[in-house]
Amino acid sequence: MNKPINITEAKARLSELVTRASAGEEVIISRRGKPIAKLAQLPQQQPRVPGIARHWRLPPEAFEPLDPETQAIMEGEGTDGIGIWIGLPKDHSKP
C-alpha cells in the first residue's frame, strides 16, 4: 500500500490491514494527511537456543528425600499467615 490510509478508515478496516501487513505489506496510517504510524509484519522469531546453563546437571543428592525439619520448613511450617518466618514449633514432627 503506497498511499497512506487515514486513521478513521484504518479503524474500520483494521482486520484487512493486519492481514495485508502479515503478508509482508507495509501499511502507513496518517492523521490529517500526515503519516503517524506504520503497520508491518514482525520478524520471525528464532527458537531459543540453550545458553550458558546447557551443561549444568543436578547432583544425585538433589533427588534424595529431605530430613523432616527441612521438609516441614519447605511446606510452610514455621511461618505465619502471610509467610513471615516465626520459627518451628517445639515439636514440629507431630501433627
Domain spans of the chain, in order of start? 5-39
The tens digit of pLDDT for each residue in 54-70 reads 888 999 999 999 998 88
Q: For residue 77, what is its C-alpha cell?
A: 511450617
Query: Which pTM was predicted?
Result: 0.47
Q: Which residues contact 88 (CB under 8 A, 6 or more apart)?
A: 69, 72, 73, 77, 78
Q: Is the pLDDT of residue 43 over 80?
A: yes
- CA nearest neighbour of 26 among 9, 6, 41, 5: 41
Q: Which residue is associated with the grid cell 501499511?
A: 27
**Radius of gyration from C-alpha coordinates of the chain:** 29
Phi, psi of 15 (to 5 degrees): -60, -45
> Considering the chain, what percentage of its residues have pLDDT values greater than 90?
49
What does the pLDDT average to over 37-53? 86
Percent of the chain with pLDDT over 70: 94
